[in-house]
Structure 1
Amino acid sequence: MENGVPPQRQSPESDQLADRMGTASDVEKASVLVDHFAAATAGPPSAWVDEFVSRVEEFGLSVRQIRRAATDLAWLARKNGQGYLDETDRARVLAAGNSHTARLCLAYIQGQRLRFDFKFAQLHRQCLDWLTEFDGDALVLSFAAFAALGARTSNGPSMYQRAVEAPDADDKSNQVLLTGINFADHLPEQPQMMLTLSDEMMARGQENAIVYYRRATAYRKLGRFEDGLYEIDRAIDDLGPGDVLVHEQFTQERRSIILAQDLQKQIERNTQAVADSITAQVDERIAAASAQLEQRLDEASLRLAQRVDVAQEMVSSGLLKMVEILGLFVALVGFIAGSGAVVIKSHGLEERALSMLLVVGGSLVFFALLRLVTTVGRRRVRTER
């Protein structure tokens, strides 16, 4: 006995776990640990977290193996309604061995629990502490990106990029990122980010039903409904029996895709109907406006033709008047010339007086005729106007 604490003895279950771990391959070791602690996740965290941490150190599990085991056990703890790790649990575990591996295990378990319940703000506060020690760890970076994307903070995209480019990124860290992007609907490039990451995961052999499900969501948001139906059907086919909640979530996504597709078709039909109606109304109004314009053009042409006729008649009348006046002037000149000759040839006073009277009388007659011609012309112009 040391410090009043009795030494712990190996139980038959622990001996059996050691035997199984000794014969298991590296790929199987995480699953063996999950099977061993699965039942204990129905109790408080102290029922399994302490021993899990000690067993991880005892068997020397790699970081990837720890991630797999911690993620699966955290999911079982959530399904069983187990509470989150508190400071008492953390202090108890670290009192037994405050190692880097122990602290990393606690961060993985708590991070996955908060991630599964979408506790963005609480996870963000936890990541502030974890990043000081595990800044290069892909899963811890994924937790930080998940919290930032879900909380819509400005550093979400940059944290996401750091996590994607982390050298030790694996399927567990990428799954956290894929779920985080699903909540980042404030980013215009969100659907394409989901497809890009899922393409990389599938190229690395990390595809599963959840990956197909996320791809279906991305295609639905992009309006590529046939691609979305193909991916969600792959997700449903890949899902194992018994997980009713996940199956219902997948079928709900399928209904959402079909509903969005039907809504898009209805919008297109209504848009086409509205477009046809607007086109018909526009054509009708254009035809009416064209008829009115043609009528106005005809009226304007008629008025222009009338004015041209009036102008032509005025010009003709003016020319005629000019000819008449010119004729009068020629007659006057002839009359004056003849009268002058008569006056010159007159010998007596009487003859000259008569000659002068003749000239004056002829001039008066000429001016009377000129007055008559110009007056008649003005009256005709007023009448025609």
Structure 2
Amino acid sequence: MSLPVRRPGHARALLHARARATENTSDPFWPTRLAADLRELNAGWKESAEIRTDAAWAARTAGNSVLGLLRPNQVTVTDPITARTYRHLYLSALRFDFRCATLKGLVERLPGNAFAALDCYSRALYAFALLGQSRPEGLALMDEVLDEAGDHTKTLHVLLHGLWLGQDLEQGPERLLALSARSPLDARNDPIVLFRRAGALRRLGRYDEGLAAIDRA
């Protein structure tokens, strides 16, 4: 397998691309510009996930959700890096709005070749949609994603979010507590992780521990 060539200054260029995207979400062309930046940098899926998740959240927080800028069919444009940019942005925005059914439907309507070639983070977002609807097949997909994602923090947060939302998943609370203990997630000091853990502890009837997690968060 050939690895992407990383020129000197690659990390700094990625930070610049992130800053341009997150600081200018009122510009309707920022997703296109971000796609061009990441295509020029030959960004991998992990780099993409880091930047695009932050950009999608910044846009939503500013009242400029990417859902109003992109069309669903743009997630399958010809250029693979551009398609991945739009897919990460659009699916992340659906996740932030808890639109699990819409996210699930969009992924399942992808052409066969596009669906088969989904990167790990896109599959994590699809797993979120399944888990959030308490679909048991989401657990199997989550395990596949974890095998590839390793300790990629943003991917783990996506899966943790799905487990927290899926109130009727069999063994869901136990799986959430186990996932929250994985090494890059700081289960003692990350308020989001603590909040998710509190929900799982409540569902298990461990109320004192759940309240303690909320207080710490």
Which TM-score band (shorter chain)? 0.7 to 0.9
Name the counterpart of 1:38: 22
Q: 1:23 to 1:117 in 2, by over 3 A?
A: same
Name the counterpart of 2:152: 170
Structure 2 counterpart of 1:74, which letter? Answer: A
Q: State whether residues 163 and 169 of structure 1, in contact with CA within 8 Å, keep that contact through their aligned partners in structure 2.
A: no
CA deviation vs aligned residue, 1:185-221 (integer Å, no higher than 9, x gap) = 1124111111011111xx2x23232112211221222
Q: How does 1:1-385 map to 2 (within 5 A)?
A: 26=11, 29-44=13-28, 47-83=29-65, 84=67, 85-86=70-71, 90=74, 94=77, 98-128=78-108, 129=110, 132-133=113-114, 135=116, 137-167=119-149, 170-200=152-182, 203=183, 205-207=184-186, 208-235=190-217
Q: Distance in 2 between matches of 1:42 and 1:67?
A: 21
Q: State whether residues 34 and 69 of structure 1, in contact with CA within 8 Å, keep that contact through their aligned partners in structure 2.
A: yes
Q: In the TM superposition, what is the alpha-carbon distance from 1:137 to its structure 2 partner?
A: 2.3
Q: Distance in 2 between matches of 1:119 and 1:194?
A: 21
Q: In the TM superposition, what is the alpha-carbon distance from 1:51 to its structure 2 partner?
A: 0.8
Structure 2 counterpart of 1:113, which letter? Answer: A
Q: Which has the higher helix share?
A: 1
Identity %: 26
Q: Distance in 1 between matches of 2:9 and 2:191?
A: 26
Give the gaps of 5 or more residues in structure 2.
Answer: 1-6
Give the gaps of 5 or more residues in structure 1.
Answer: 1-21, 236-385
* TM-score in terms of structure 1 length: 0.48
* TM-score in terms of structure 2 length: 0.81
4+ residue runs of structure 1 moved beyond 6 angstroms? none
CA deviation vs aligned residue, 1:310-368 (integer Å, no higher than 9, x gap) = xxxxxxxxxxxxxxxxxxxxxxxxxxxxxxxxxxxxxxxxxxxxxxxxxxxxxxxxxxx
Q: State whether residues 194 and 218 of structure 1, in contact with CA within 8 Å, keep that contact through their aligned partners in structure 2.
A: yes
Q: Distance in 2 between matches of 1:231 and 1:219?
A: 9
Q: State whether residues 30 and 66 of structure 1, in contact with CA within 8 Å, keep that contact through their aligned partners in structure 2.
A: no
CA deviation vs aligned residue, 1:360-382 (integer Å, no higher than 9, x gap) = xxxxxxxxxxxxxxxxxxxxxxx
Q: Distance in 1 between matches of 2:136 and 2:111?
A: 20
1:165 aligned counterpart, secondary structure:
helix
CA deviation vs aligned residue, 1:93-117 (integer Å, no higher than 9, x gap) = 94xxx32111111111111001100
1:182 aligned counterpart, secondary structure:
helix
Q: State whether residues 176 and 200 of structure 2, in contact with CA within 8 Å, keep that contact through their aligned partners in structure 1.
A: yes
Q: 1:168 to 1:104 in 2, by over 3 A?
A: farther
1:66 aligned counterpart, secondary structure:
helix
Q: Distance in 2 between matches of 1:180 and 1:41?
A: 26
Aligned length: 203
1:38 aligned counterpart, secondary structure:
helix
